[in-house]
């Protein structure tokens, strides 16, 4: 059975007008190149234009689906203006390209962006089945992965960003920065053109969301892992190869050669966009022309495809470009020729190939560009002429095309000199530079790109966390024990287990969901609940003092048994003299690491680095671990680098020890321990036939069962209670504790 690929991009590869016209961009070729034996492709996107009439929408949908495998997402004119022209192209596009001063923002655009992303997600969810691969494209749809994940947690979702991902310092300017990256993190696989963009994305996620990550993996709070990968997009190589062998191409090339006879041709092709460095290029051309003796010997051809003409900055760019070209042509024209030929239109594909192949120099100098396919297409078409590619260092393509003449587009003088030098490179040298680049461009083409992305996506572990043991088994054990009125002990860690983690630990007071769950458990006399935490007894007393439940504080150093009000110290015989020595060291780290602080508890000293720069904080934590390790070799302590903390604790105190002590005083038929942190592992070591251990979260653990997050644990407990006494729940309805 072929796997279904659901490809989701802002635009469908078809346009609906009087007739339906198919477009043939790189993405179409890339996906059509996937084998039909292995994959069945469905394409979701906007068909262009506003089709408002419901009957016409149905008709268009029917034709597109049946004849083209395309499922249209219809948008109104207002939605296109708010989502596409506004939020996507006037807000996100400039920022993703480091042009924060071009970024505009209107809160109404954000509403449109969310609505349209949700419409795309809903449309996909109407069709998607488990086992399908969903591939979402580009900056217009950054929220879609998380929207899909929320409703189908097991779906394999990929996201590819076709633009650069800028440095954190730039991306942080966006008013919706957190929402946007959280949306992308719904994907299992997030693809970028270069490793630089991966690095920036990771750094942004670490700093804005405070998540843990390795170089190419990020673990989200909801338990799934997003893998980041480098997938440099390629050109439609087969289409170019075919064109170069066609008689029309040969004819058009001959015509161009005749028309430009006696001149060296320098070609630029691009959408008219301020990222493409057009005005800076004109500066360089002016400097070049100033120095040129024979002005009839050169022709610059600019193919500038109209783009985003509704957006103000693009209108201004066009006006400025036209004025500058007019001035340059006025100043440097001779009686027989003018230096710049400016085509403000799209040329047909054969003409484009003929132009690429005729040009002595391809001048591709964007100020920044995700990849830039024009550079690769120019090389592909230089099969026998070996023209020179002048390429901006700031195009993603520069990583692969390192034999090109690489330039800094902001340095007009250097670009002008590179152009003079390029025109003088001997043929042998040009051939030697181009051949390896051409081999690469033709081999690692768009189809290769799509295949590698899809194969990697197919190989990722599906969204949900793999369970150690089926949680239904634990649920059954628990509900059986509840319904038989057996004596059950629940030892529940608090932060990250019973309740979601907060950035500020003081803000993590019990939510109504937690309190409602405790209230439900409280109604069963046979169930003893103990909250077991690393927090101080004062913290626990303040939040749970009024509840008749057991409390264990400071990882097992103090306990307040259910039914009593008094706290008992379990660590009376333990010495804490070692604290004096290390307190000073931790203070030094506090001083030298902005945002970090030292917390002193009865049984431990903790250095917190949650609020520091994540990379600096983690590095300092490693240094501190090393220093403490050598200082404290002979002391009865444990040193631990936990979640954004370095902690030194008395060796004899542990949660596991405290649980054992309570169990030795009162026997139970079933004991359940749940925790999310390393300190909880000492509870999971307890061995007993009637023992259920649950890890909350997706880190490695010795627990027998695993649940995704605190909400899943709360639901698990409520479900077990309701299975044991359905009547009580029928009466009250299922409580909203999750």
Question: Using the rule CB under 6 A, which residue among 9, 163, 338, 403 binds ligand GDG?
Answer: 163
Nearest to 256 by CA among 181, 352, 378, 397: 352
Closest distance between ligand GDG and the C-beta of residue 303, in Å?
Answer: 5
Residues 561-590 that bind ligand GDG (CB under 6 A): none
Token duo for residue 401: 């095309």
Strand partners, 604: 649
Which residues are CB-neighbours of 528 under 8 A, at least 6 positions away? 487, 488, 489, 490, 549, 550, 562, 666, 668
Query: Taking contact as CB under 6 A, which single stretch among the options 252-260, 328-336, 373-381, 606-614 is the one that binds ligand GDG?
Result: 373-381
10 Å CB burial of residue 692 (0-12, 13-18, 19+) is buried
Question: Using the rule CB under 6 A, which residue among 8, 180, 373, 527 binds ligand GDG?
Answer: 373
Which of residues 11 and 162 has its CB atom nearest to ligand GDG in the complex?
Answer: 162
Residues 226-245 that bind ligand GDG (CB under 6 A): 233
Closest distance between ligand GDG and the C-beta of residue 350, in Å?
Answer: 9
Closest distance between ligand GDG and the C-beta of residue 683, in Å?
Answer: 50
| Strand segments (E) across 255-374 | 264-271, 298-305, 340-343, 361-364
Query: Taking contact as CB under 6 A, which single stretch among the options 48-56, 74-82, 370-378, 486-494 is the one that binds ligand GDG?
Result: 370-378
Strand partners, 341: 301
Q: Is 26 in the site for ligand GDG (CB under 6 A)?
A: yes
d(CA 3, CA 38) in angstroms, rounded, equals 6
Which of residues 378 and 684 has its CB atom nearest to ligand GDG in the complex?
Answer: 378
Which residues are CB-neighbours of 646 under 8 A, at least 6 positions away? 606, 607, 609, 621, 624, 625, 628, 639, 640
H helix or E strand, kind and range, residue 649: strand 645-650
Q: Is the dihedral of CA 633, 635, 636, 638 positive or negative?
A: negative
Question: Using the rule CB under 6 A, which residue among 20, 51, 289, 305 binds ligand GDG?
Answer: 305
Query: Taking contact as CB under 6 A, which single stretch among the options 150-158, 371-379, 383-391, 506-514 is the one that binds ligand GDG?
Result: 371-379
Which of residues 373 and 672 has its CB atom nearest to ligand GDG in the complex?
Answer: 373
Q: Is 269 in the site for ligand GDG (CB under 6 A)?
A: yes
Q: Is 162 in the site for ligand GDG (CB under 6 A)?
A: yes
Cβ proximity of 191 and 160 under 8 Å: yes
Numbers of helices and strands, H then E, in the chain: 27, 29
Question: Using the rule CB under 6 A, which residue among 360, 377, 571, 709 binds ligand GDG?
Answer: 377
Residues 330-369 that bind ligand GDG (CB under 6 A): 346-347, 349, 352, 369
**Identified catalytic residue from 493, 495, 676, 719:** 493
Question: What is the longest distance spanned by two Cα atoms in the chain?
Answer: 106
| Strand segments (E) across 349-437 | 361-364, 388-392, 405-407
Nearest to 276 by CA among 343, 380, 374, 166: 374
Closest distance between ligand GDG and the C-beta of residue 620, in Å?
Answer: 37
Strand partners, 364: 391
d(CA 421, CA 288) in angstroms, rounded, equals 11
Closest distance between ligand GDG and the C-beta of residue 146, in Å?
Answer: 22
Q: Is 281 in the site for ligand GDG (CB under 6 A)?
A: no
- CA distances (Å), origin 216, targets 396, 400, 612: 19, 20, 21
Q: Please provide residue 709's backbone torsions phi and psi, each rounded to the nearest 5 degrees.
A: -160, 175
Which of residues 303 and 737 has its CB atom nearest to ligand GDG in the complex?
Answer: 303
Q: At what angle do helices 614-631 and 578-592 cross, to 10 degrees?
A: 150
Which residues are CB-neighbours of 238 under 8 A, at least 6 positions away? 29, 33, 445, 447
> Binding string, 679-718, against ligand GDG, x = CB under 6 A?
----------------------------------------
Token duo for residue 374: 């024009």
Which of residues 352 and 648 has its CB atom nearest to ligand GDG in the complex?
Answer: 352
493 catalytic? Reply is yes
Question: Using the rule CB under 6 A, which residue among 68, 104, 177, 271 binds ligand GDG?
Answer: 271
Q: Is 31 in the site for ligand GDG (CB under 6 A)?
A: no
Q: Is 308 in the site for ligand GDG (CB under 6 A)?
A: no
Which of residues 347 and 711 has its CB atom nearest to ligand GDG in the complex?
Answer: 347
Query: Taking contact as CB under 6 A, which single stretch among the options 57-65, 205-213, 372-380, 569-577 is the one that binds ligand GDG?
Result: 372-380
| Strand segments (E) across 282-353 | 298-305, 340-343
Question: Using the rule CB under 6 A, which residue among 203, 372, 405, 596 binds ligand GDG?
Answer: 372
> Binding string, 515-544, against ligand GDG, x = CB under 6 A?
------------------------------
Q: Is 272 in the site for ligand GDG (CB under 6 A)?
A: no
Nearest to 83 by CA among 59, 52, 35, 50: 50
Residues designated as active site? 493
Interface with ligand GDG by CB under 6 A: which residues? 26, 162-163, 233, 269, 271, 303, 305, 346-347, 349, 352, 369-374, 377
């Amino acid at each position: 059975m072929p796997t279904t690929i659901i490809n989701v991009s802002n635009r469908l590869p078809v346009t609906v007008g009087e007739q339906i016209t198919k477009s043939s961009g790189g993405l179409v070729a890339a996906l059509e190149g996937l084998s039909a034996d292995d994959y069945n492709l469905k394409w979701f996107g906007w068909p262009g234009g506003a089709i408002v009439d419901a009957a016409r929408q149905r008709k268009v949908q029917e034709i597109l689906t049946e004849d083209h495998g395309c499922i249209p997402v219809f948008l109104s004119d207002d939605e296109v203006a708010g989502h596409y022209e506004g939020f996507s192209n006037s807000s996100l596009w400039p920022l993703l390209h480091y042009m924060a001063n071009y970024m505009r923002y209107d809160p109404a655009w954000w509403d449109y962006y969310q609505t349209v992303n949700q419409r795309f997600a809903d449309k996909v969810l109407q069709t998607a089945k488990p086992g399908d691969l969903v591939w979402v494209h580009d900056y217009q749809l950054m929220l879609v992965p998380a929207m899909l994940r929320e409703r189908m947690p097991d779906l394999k979702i990929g996201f590819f960003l076709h633009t650069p991902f800028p440095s954190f310092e730039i991306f942080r300017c966006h008013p919706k920065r957190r929402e946007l990256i959280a949306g992308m993190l719904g994907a299992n696989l997030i693809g970028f053109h270069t490793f630089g963009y991966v690095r920036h994305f990771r750094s942004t996620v670490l700093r804005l969301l405070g998540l843990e990550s390795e170089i190419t993996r990020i673990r989200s709070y909801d338990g799934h892992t997003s893998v980041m990968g480098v997938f440099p997009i390629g050109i439609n190589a087969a289409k170019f190869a075919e064109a170069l062998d066609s008689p029309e191409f040969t004819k058009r090339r001959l015509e161009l050669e005749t028309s430009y006879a006696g001149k060296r041709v320098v070609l630029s092709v691009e959408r008219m966009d301020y990222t493409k460095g057009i005005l800076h290029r004109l500066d360089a051309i002016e400097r070049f022309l100033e120095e040129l003796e024979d002005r009839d010997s050169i022709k610059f051809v600019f193919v500038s495809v109209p783009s985003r003409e509704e957006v103000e900055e693009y209108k201004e760019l066009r006006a400025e470009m036209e004025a500058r070209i007019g001035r340059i042509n006025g100043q440097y024209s001779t009686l027989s020729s003018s230096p710049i030929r400016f085509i403000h239109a799209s040329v047909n594909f054969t003409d484009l190939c003929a132009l690429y192949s005729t040009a002595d120099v391809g001048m591709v100098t964007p100020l920044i560009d995700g990849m830039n396919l024009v550079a690769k297409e120019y090389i592909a078409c230089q099969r026998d002429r070996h023209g020179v590619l002048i390429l901006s260092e700031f195009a993603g393509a520069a990583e692969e095309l390192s034999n090109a003449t690489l330039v800094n587009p902001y340095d007009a003088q250097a670009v002008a000199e590179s152009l003079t030098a390029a025109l003088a490179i001997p043929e042998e040298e040009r051939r030697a530079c181009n051949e390896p680049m051409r081999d690469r461009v033709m081999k690692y083409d768009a189809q290769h790109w799509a295949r590698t992305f899809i194969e990697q996506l197919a190989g990722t572990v599906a969204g949900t966390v793999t369970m150690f043991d089926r949680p239904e088994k634990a649920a059954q054990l628990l509900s059986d024990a509840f319904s038989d009125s057996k004596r059950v002990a629940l030892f529940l860690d608090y932060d990250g287990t019973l309740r979601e983690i907060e950035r500020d630990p003081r803000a993590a007071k019990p939510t109504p969901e937690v309190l409602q769950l405790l209230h439900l458990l409280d109604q069963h006399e046979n169930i003893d609940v103990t909250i077991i935490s690393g927090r101080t007894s004062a913290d626990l007393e303040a939040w749970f003092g009024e509840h008749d439940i057991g409390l264990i504080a400071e990882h097992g150093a103090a306990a307040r048994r259910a039914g009593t009000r008094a706290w008992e110290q379990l660590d009376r015989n333990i010495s804490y003299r070692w604290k004096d020595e290390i307190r000073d060291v931790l203070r030094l780290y506090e001083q030298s690491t902005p945002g970090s602080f030292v917390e002193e508890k009865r049984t431990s000293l903790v250095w917190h680095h949650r609020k520091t720069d994540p990379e600096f904080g983690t590095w300092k934590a490693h240094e501190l671990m090393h220093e403490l390790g050598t200082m404290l070799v002979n002391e009865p302590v444990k040193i631990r680098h936990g979640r954004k903390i370095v902690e030194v604790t008395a060796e004899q105190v542990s949660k596991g020890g405290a649980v054992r002590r309570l169990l030795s005083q009162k026997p139970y038929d079933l004991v359940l321990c749940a925790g999310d942190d390393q300190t909880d592992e000492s509870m999971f070591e307890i061995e007993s036939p009637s023992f259920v251990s649950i890890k909350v979260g997706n880190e490695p653990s010795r627990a027998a069962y695993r649940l995704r997050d605190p909400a899943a644990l709360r639901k698990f407990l409520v479900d077990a209670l309701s299975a044991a006494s359905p009547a009580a729940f029928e009466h009250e309805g299922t409580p909203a504790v999750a």
